[in-house]
């Protein structure tokens, strides 16, 4: 019998290793940018085509490579950055594993042009799937240019895994931001499909953040400075009002390396305690300098986790210094309770409720493609449960004697009219600025105000998008928003449907949109948030399944526009909301299938007292 174990050929081993190092175009971007930084570049350009699927190119003015090194660079475990294991504890560079270039070269067409300052000639090198296909001397300037074309050309399974260009571009942008923020002493440019997205001059940390995040960021930053034996902290936190629902504006850098750290994240969040609205995330850009031997940078190239020697002390120091910074700017005093008392995000008039044409159309079935159907249960999409068989009128029947006035033939619009008859006897109040309690003859309803409103808006918006154009309120002063280019392109793709809802806008430049009209239910101050939600949801590339694009848009907008938990509501607004809710095709669940209210019967209360 012959032996059967063999060593894998290098190009196969490289391809396997590549799977770990290079998961998406953004991984290539990260490795190439870090190499350029390690090479001491002062100017770096990143150029990509088709979200990196066609081309990722990085040009730097760093120290370059000799002809031999250029070739060596693509060998596995070939690195100039460490010579023995001890060096690992005194790292001054991003890279050290010597794997990145070998990996990239195994799964793409790579070309390299490089020259050291004192060499007369530079080198051109072309590699396809780990094989050198060309190497020759060339006249060029100091520095290195690496172009990575047709990523995963020989790994079709990987190619298929890639997300839409929007998502991949966002990942690349994230990597670019991380490197750019950590290295303000390096000028960086970034262009995508021949459009320049960023041109960041050499600057200080604050200016760099502002250049990346937009001019308005400056006034929102609170500096954090702290120096102890264990750690030196510098950087900024965003004032609480700068907090957003989206994660993503949280940056920790340890010794100039971007990291994620849940424990430290918690330290910052807890320093903001009481200052943030529900579910908002604080913004922070914090740079920690720790002694090199007190931190273990996970040596896996794609991981961003690190392990500190003394995490507990670090936690305390981070928390205290953020708290201190916030205190110094005396913004701890912000009292969210001071909001105007009866502020509700939608205009309400009596007229509106009693206008069954819009709110209560028994023939309208938002889930039906075939037009009207008098049975709201027949064509619902699978993701919606049918309205409960128990008719609402039965819950309210007998509330007082006047209920006998009800017209039994009107099924759907009944609740609206019935409430009007019974306003005298129905008790409605708000609990913890979150729930609406409505008494019933048989017990009480506990309604989740945010979800209820979301449901109502969702049905209205869906109707506008699919059936009729929603009313748009003209803005007296058009609203201009500066957004990242990729976000603007998402909005443009959705433009037609957004217009149906009453959202009218035009693109002025590739990163500026001007909004001229809003859906009537939408307040101007909620616009950025709603757009953010729409963009985020669309970026997530959610599986479509039973949801149509319009359905998703309606659900997203409803979520962004709905009255929040924590907002107080007037008596009238609560009554109207309850009426509208029960005029919905489906009152029990939100578009995402979350429970909208709970019905607590007198009987179940009785049981509790037994």
Taking a C-beta distance cutoff of 8 angstroms, is the pair 109, 150 a contact? yes
Taking a C-beta distance cutoff of 8 angstroms, is the pair 462, 590 a contact? no
Q: Does 396 bind ligand ADP (CB under 6 A)?
A: no
Give the shortest CB-563-to-ligand ADP separation in angstroms.
52
Residue nearest to Mg ion (CB): 95
Q: Does 39 bind ligand ADP (CB under 6 A)?
A: yes
Q: Does 52 bind Mg ion (CB under 5 A)?
A: no
When CB distances are held under 5 to 8 angstroms depending on the partner's kind, the choice from Mg ion, ligand ADP, none that residue 454 binds is none
In whole angstroms, give the CA distance from residue 62 to residue 145: 10
When CB distances are held under 5 to 8 angstroms depending on the partner's kind, the choice from Mg ion, ligand ADP, none that residue 168 binds is none
Rama region for 521: left / alpha / beta (φ>0; ψ in -120 to 50; rest): alpha
* Closest to 208 measured CA to CA, from 171, 237, 183, 190: 183
Give the SS3 label for residue 145. Answer: strand
Scanning 78-86, 175-183, 313-321, 390-398 for contacts with ligand ADP by CB under 6 A, the matching segment is 78-86
Q: Does 399 bind ligand ADP (CB under 6 A)?
A: no
Q: Does 45 bind ligand ADP (CB under 6 A)?
A: no
Scanning 88-96, 110-118, 125-133, 369-377 for contacts with Mg ion by CB under 5 A, the matching segment is 88-96
Q: Does 586 bind ligand ADP (CB under 6 A)?
A: no
> Among residues 95 and 187, whose Cβ is nearest to Mg ion?
95
Q: Which of residues 98-127 bind ligand ADP (CB under 6 A)?
A: 98-102
Q: Which residues of 274-313 are buried (b: 16+ CB within 10 A; e: fewer)?
A: ebbeeebbbbbbbbbebeeeebebeeebeebebebeeeee
> Among residues 77 and 312, whose Cβ is nearest to ligand ADP?
77
Taking a C-beta distance cutoff of 8 angstroms, is the pair 212, 183 a contact? no
- Residues paired with 195 in a beta bridge: 192
Q: Does 148 bind Mg ion (CB under 5 A)?
A: no
- Which of 100, 167, 231, 515 is close enough to bind Mg ion by CB under 5 A? 100
Q: Which residues are within 8 A (CB) of 385 and not within 5 positions of it... i.e. 6 or more apart?
A: 586, 588, 589, 593
- Which of 15, 57, 79, 497 is close enough to bind ligand ADP by CB under 6 A? 79
> Among residues 115 and 536, whose Cβ is nearest to ligand ADP?
115
- Residues paired with 509 in a beta bridge: 512
Site string for Mg ion, 278-307 (x = CB under 5 A): ------------------------------
Q: Total residues contacting ligand ADP (rule CB under 6 A)?
A: 23
When CB distances are held under 5 to 8 angstroms depending on the partner's kind, the choice from Mg ion, ligand ADP, none that residue 79 binds is ligand ADP
- Which of 25, 52, 62, 519 is close enough to bind ligand ADP by CB under 6 A? 62
When CB distances are held under 5 to 8 angstroms depending on the partner's kind, the choice from Mg ion, ligand ADP, none that residue 65 binds is ligand ADP
- Which of 24, 97, 220, 261 is close enough to bind ligand ADP by CB under 6 A? 97
Rg, the chain, Cα only: 30
CA distances to 195, 209, 477, 506, 533 from 510, rounded to whole Å, are: 9, 21, 21, 11, 20
> Among residues 95 and 387, whose Cβ is nearest to ligand ADP?
95
> Among residues 172 and 522, whose Cβ is nearest to Mg ion?
172
Q: Does 43 bind ligand ADP (CB under 6 A)?
A: no
Phi then psi dihedrals of residue 13, to 5 deg: -60, -40
Q: Does 95 bind Mg ion (CB under 5 A)?
A: yes
> Among residues 93 and 313, whose Cβ is nearest to ligand ADP?
93
Return the H-helix or E-strand segment holding 311. helix 311-328
When CB distances are held under 5 to 8 angstroms depending on the partner's kind, the choice from Mg ion, ligand ADP, none that residue 36 binds is ligand ADP
Residue nearest to ligand ADP (CB): 95
Give the shortest CB-267-to-ligand ADP separation in angstroms.
31
Q: What is the DSSP string of 213-248?
A: H-GGGGGGEEEEEEE-SS-EEEEEEE-GGG-BSSS-
CA distances to 67, 114, 131 from 135, rounded to whole Å, are: 9, 11, 11
Q: Which of residues 452-491 bind ligand ADP (CB under 6 A)?
A: none
> Among residues 35 and 550, whose Cβ is nearest to Mg ion?
35
Q: Is 216 exposed, middle or buried (0-12, 13-18, 19+ CB in 10 A)?
A: exposed
> Among residues 57 and 211, whose Cβ is nearest to ligand ADP?
57
Taking a C-beta distance cutoff of 8 angstroms, is the pair 579, 349 a contact? no
Return the H-helix or E-strand segment holding 264. helix 262-271
> Among residues 100 and 561, whose Cβ is nearest to Mg ion?
100
In whole angstroms, give the CA distance from residue 438 to residue 431: 10
Give the shortest CB-17-to-ligand ADP separation in angstroms.
11
Q: Does 65 bind ligand ADP (CB under 6 A)?
A: yes
* Closest to 56 measured CA to CA, from 31, 39, 75: 31
Q: Which of residues 116-175 bind ligand ADP (CB under 6 A)?
A: 144
- Which of 14, 15, 27, 35 is close enough to bind Mg ion by CB under 5 A? 35
Long-range interactions of 90-93: CB distance < 8 A, separation 24+? 90/292, 90/293, 91/292, 91/297, 93/38
Q: Does 35 bind ligand ADP (CB under 6 A)?
A: yes
Which residues sit at the interface with Mg ion, rule CB under 5 A? 35, 95, 100
Which residues sit at the interface with ligand ADP, rule CB under 6 A? 31, 35-36, 39, 60, 62-65, 73, 78-81, 95-102, 144
């Amino acid at each position: 019998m012959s032996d059967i174990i063999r060593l894998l050929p290098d190009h196969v081993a490289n391809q396997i290793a590549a799977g770990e190092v290079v998961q998406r175009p953004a991984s290539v971007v990260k490795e190439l940018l870090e190499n350029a930084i390690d090479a001491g570049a002062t100017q770096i350009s990143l150029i990509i085509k088709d979200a990196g699927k066609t081309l990722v190119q990085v040009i730097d003015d760093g120290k370059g490579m000799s002809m031999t090194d250029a070739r060596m660079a693509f060998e596995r475990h070939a690195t100039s950055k460490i010579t023995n294991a001890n060096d690992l504890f005194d790292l001054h560079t991003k890279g050290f594993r010597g794997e990145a270039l070998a990996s990239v070269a195994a799964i793409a067409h790579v070309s390299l042009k490089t020259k050291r300052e004192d060499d007369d000639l530079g080198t051109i090198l072309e590699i396809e799937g780990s094989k050198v296909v060309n190497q020759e001397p060339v006249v060029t300037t100091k520095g290195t240019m690496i172009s990575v074309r047709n990523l995963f050309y020989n790994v079709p399974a990987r190619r298929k895994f890639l997300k839409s260009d929007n998502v991949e571009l966002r990942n690349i942008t994230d990597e670019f931001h991380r490197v750019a923020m950590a290295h303000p002493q390096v000028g960086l440019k970034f262009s995508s499909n021949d459009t320049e997205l960023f041109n960041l001059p050499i600057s200080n940390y604050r200016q760099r953040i502002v250049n990346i995040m937009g001019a308005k960021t400056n006034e929102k930053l609170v500096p954090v400075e702290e120096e102890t034996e264990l750690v030196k902290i510098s950087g900024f936190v965003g004032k609480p009002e700068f907090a957003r629902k989206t994660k993503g504006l949280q940056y920790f850098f340890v010794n100039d390396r971007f990291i994620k750290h849940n424990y430290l994240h918690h330290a910052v969040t807890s320093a903001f305690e009481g200052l943030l609205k529900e579910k908002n995330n604080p913004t922070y850009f914090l740079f920690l300098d720790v002694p090199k031997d007190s931190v273990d940078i996970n040596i896996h190239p794609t991981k961003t986790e690190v392990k500190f020697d003394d995490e507990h002390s670090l936690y305390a120091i981070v928390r205290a210094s953020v708290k201190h910074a916030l205190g110094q700017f005396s913004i701890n005093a912000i009292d969210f309770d001071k909001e105007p008392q009866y502020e509700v995000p939608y205009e309400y008039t009596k007229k509106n409720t009693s206008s069954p044409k819009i709110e209560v159309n028994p023939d309208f079935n938002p889930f039906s493609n075939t037009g009207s159907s008098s049975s709201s249960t027949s064509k619902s999409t699978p993701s919606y449960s049918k309205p409960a068989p128990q008719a609402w009128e039965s819950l309210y029947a007998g509330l007082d004697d006047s209920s006998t006035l009800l017209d039994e033939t009107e099924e759907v619009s009944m609740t609206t009219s019935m409430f009007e008859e019974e306003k005298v006897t129905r008790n409605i109040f708000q609990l913890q600025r979150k729930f609406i309690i409505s008494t019933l003859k048989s017990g009480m309803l506990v309604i989740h105000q945010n979800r209820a409103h979301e449901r109502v808006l969702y049905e209205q918006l869906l109707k506008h998008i699919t059936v009729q154009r929603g009313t748009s309120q003209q803005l007296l002063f058009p609203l201009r928003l500066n957004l990242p280019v990729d976000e603007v392109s998402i909005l443009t793709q959705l433009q037609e449907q957004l217009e149906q809802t009453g959202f009218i806008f035009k693109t002025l430049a590739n990163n500026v949109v001007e909004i001229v009209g809003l859906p009537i239910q939408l307040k101007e101050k909620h616009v950025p948030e709603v757009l953010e939600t729409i963009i985020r949801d669309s970026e997530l590339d959610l599986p479509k399944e039973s949801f149509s694009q319009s359905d998703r848009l309606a659900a997203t907008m409803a979520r962004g526009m709905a009255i929040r938990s924590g907002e107080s509501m007037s008596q009238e607004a609560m009554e109207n909301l309850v009426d509208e809710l029960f005029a919905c095709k489906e009152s029990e669940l939100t578009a995402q299938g979350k429970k909208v209210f709970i019905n607590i019967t007198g009987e179940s209360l009785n049981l509790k007292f037994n």
